[in-house]
Structure 1
Amino acid sequence: MAANRGVSRASQKPPAKGKERPAPGRGAARSRTPLQELLGSYLSHHRKTAKDSAQRLWRSPVASLMTWMVMGIALALPVGMLLLLGSLQGVSAGWDSTARITLYLEQNAGGDTLDRMRIQLASRKDITDVTVITREEALAEFRASSGLADALDYLDENPLPDTLLLTPSADIRNKQGMEALVDELEQVDAVARVQVDLGWLQRLNTITDLLGRGVWALALLLGAAVVLVIGNTIRLAIENRRDEILVAKLVGGTDAFVRRPFLYTGIWYGLGGGIIAFVLLELTLWWMSGPVEHLASLYRSQFELSGLTFEGTFALLLASVLLGWLGAWLAVKRHLDAIEPNQIEAGHA
């Protein structure tokens, strides 16, 4: 009896502090609000859906690789042409910065007139630099470079005029500004001729702008082709998972729930296509950089092919992901609406 009474008293003794442990996760669950639980469940389902979509692509590597290659080539072509145009525009901008106006004076203009015009032109705000080439310097340079030194000895006087080389400021280095400056210089006394070497540069810039618009038009067309390719691929995936979609809708799955795996599939297709486009661009630039540098050195040019910057790479990947998502969304919007349990039951009836 005493032993039993001792056992009962021991069993009624409260446990010591610090030894009682709550069930795992019970305290954390109590501390979370319903909104946090809902958000956590939502994000967890997104992670699971994205992982499952990626695993489905890896299970069919040949078909996925073919889709990625088509997207990569379609994206790399316009981006490569835009990079080429950017390099050409950079070179033409360098040529534009060194463009000059040549001012030939009258034969009877003396040294005082030359000095006066040099000071007058150097004080103008639309001219940044004035270089003087006297008649004697021009004749000496022509004698050294032409190979006609013996013939020049028979001349009674120097036929070359005094020359001023003018460098216009950057704000007027365009068609309208240059034409206005040339018209003003032609009205100056003792000026025989004004020569500007910007005509060919303006034609080059016009051709470059035209090519740029053509490249953007090509980019839009190829972007539409990428959307169609992704849409057709997602349509086939929807048809293959038709029964799964029907079951999900029968048990109350929402359109967003059913649509989510296919949207992630389009995102993975877009990301893979962007990565392949980046790899193709880098390989092409590496393959062409040597011959381009050799050709530029023969013409003493600073032209070089520039690759994608970090911002450009990010923009390429973002654009490819958006195109993949857009193609998937259009396909899902069109074909999932046709898969409804009521319509299928009516069709079987």
Structure 2
Amino acid sequence: MASSFDKFQKRKLVSSYISVVISIALVLFLLGCLGLFVFNAKKVADHFKEQVVLTIYLNDSAKEVEVDQLKKRLLLADYTKNIEYVSKEDAAEIMKEENGEDFMEYLGYNPLQNSIDVHLKADFVTNDIIDDITEELSEKDFIADLRYDKDLVFLMNNNVKKITFWVLVISALFTLIAVLLINSSIRLAVYSKRFIIKTMQMVGATKSFIRKPFVYKSVQLGVIGAIIALAAMGVVLYYLNQTFPELQLVKEPLLIVGLFAGIFIIGIVITWLSTFIATQRFLNLKTDQLYY
């Protein structure tokens, strides 16, 4: 009978430990994923900004030497990420593929112009800076026109500021929730052993002696939960890097290692602190208060 009861208690204890580990792992995993998003938010925003194209349309009378000099100047400019020369023939082929018909058959000539597509670096993608660039380039006589999507640039920069603000707010809120959830799981685990704590105290055990095995076990559970969370984060990071290689999520390994180390340390610190506070609370309770 006693053996059966002991097995029941052991299964109950293991079940309690598993639930705590799962809770810690899930919370740390979500916190880690949020950290990945926060650290890569600028990189993602920069990626979309660098899709903005400043198109320089050239006069048909532009000399090859002038065009080559312009290309070299653009490549050496601080604001240029890369450039692409699009001839009027290539532009006609692109329009033909997009529209599914050859418009030159109706017109009898090619009305398009040779152009240079300039992809700007993210830090230079603002309306004021691009306007300054277009004003400077428009002084060239062989440049017919310069165009970019002003509304898109304005909305993009405006939305990036809003998203950055709310990401920081949500990160702070989620961190608080993570601490509270882990603390709640640990407190429930310690609560189930409150009578053992009080019994040990009544037979003369010191508070530090009673607290030590609880803290040690909780830290162990925290380490296990953190390892599971980090493994899941590694899978997510690998998948995202394979799916969106242009974002170069693993380009800064030190940042990733720092985030993983931070999540691991957070798992240990929160479980240690939560167990310390929970055991201290039950140690300070009177015997009749344990039933409430």
* TM-score using structure 2 length: 0.67
Q: Is 1:236 paired with 2:192?
A: yes
Alignment of 1:1-349 (within 5 A): 60-83=13-36, 93-97=46-50, 99-105=52-58, 110-112=61-63, 115=67, 117-118=70-71, 121=74, 124-127=77-80, 129-143=82-96, 146-149=99-102, 151-155=103-107, 157-169=109-121, 172-175=123-126, 179-186=128-135, 188-189=138-139, 190-196=143-149, 198=153, 202=157, 205=160, 209=164, 212-213=167-168, 214-248=170-204, 253=206, 255-278=207-230, 285=236, 302=245, 312-338=259-285
In structure 1, C-alpha distance between the alignment counterparts of 2:11 and 2:285, rounded to whole Å: 28
Secondary structure of the structure 2 residue equivalent to 1:111: coil
Secondary structure of the structure 2 residue equivalent to 1:229: helix
Instruction: Choose 216-225 or 194-203, whichever is displaced more.
Output: 194-203
C-alpha change, 1:209 and 1:258, in structure 2 (3 Å) is same
Note if contact 1:91-1:302 (Cα within 8 Å) is conserved in structure 2: no
In structure 2, C-alpha distance between the alignment counterparts of 1:63 and 1:129, rounded to whole Å: 57
Give 5+ residue unaligned stretches, structure 1. 1-55, 345-349
For residue 322 of structure 1, what is the amino acid of its counterpart? V
Note if contact 2:85-2:116 (Cα within 8 Å) is conserved in structure 1: yes
In structure 2, C-alpha distance between the alignment counterparts of 1:332 and 1:126, rounded to whole Å: 59
Aligned to 1:15: none
Q: Tell me how far 1:217 sits from its aligned partner.
A: 2.5
In structure 2, C-alpha distance between the alignment counterparts of 1:123 and 1:261, rounded to whole Å: 65
In structure 1, C-alpha distance between the alignment counterparts of 2:104 and 2:52, rounded to whole Å: 30
Note if contact 2:183-2:271 (Cα within 8 Å) is conserved in structure 1: yes
Note if contact 2:26-2:229 (Cα within 8 Å) is conserved in structure 1: yes
What is the RMSD of the two structures over their aligned residues, measured on CA atoms? 4.4
Give 5+ residue unaligned stretches, structure 2. 1-8, 288-292
Identical residues among aligned pairs (%)? 14
Q: Tell me how far 1:223 sits from its aligned partner.
A: 2.1
Instruction: Choose 87-96 or 258-267, whichever is displaced more.
Output: 87-96
Structure exhibiting the larger radius of gyration computed from Cα positions: 1
In structure 2, C-alpha distance between the alignment counterparts of 1:247 and 1:73, rounded to whole Å: 39
1:214-248: CA deviations, max 9, x gaps?
A: 35532331221111221232243233321211222
In structure 1, C-alpha distance between the alignment counterparts of 2:132 and 2:224, rounded to whole Å: 57
* TM-score using structure 1 length: 0.58
Secondary structure of the structure 2 residue equivalent to 1:164: strand
For residue 271 of structure 2, what is the amino acid of its counterpart? G
1:230-271: CA deviations, max 9, x gaps?
A: 12322432333212112225xxx4x43343233223312322
Work out the number of aligned pairs and report it.
266
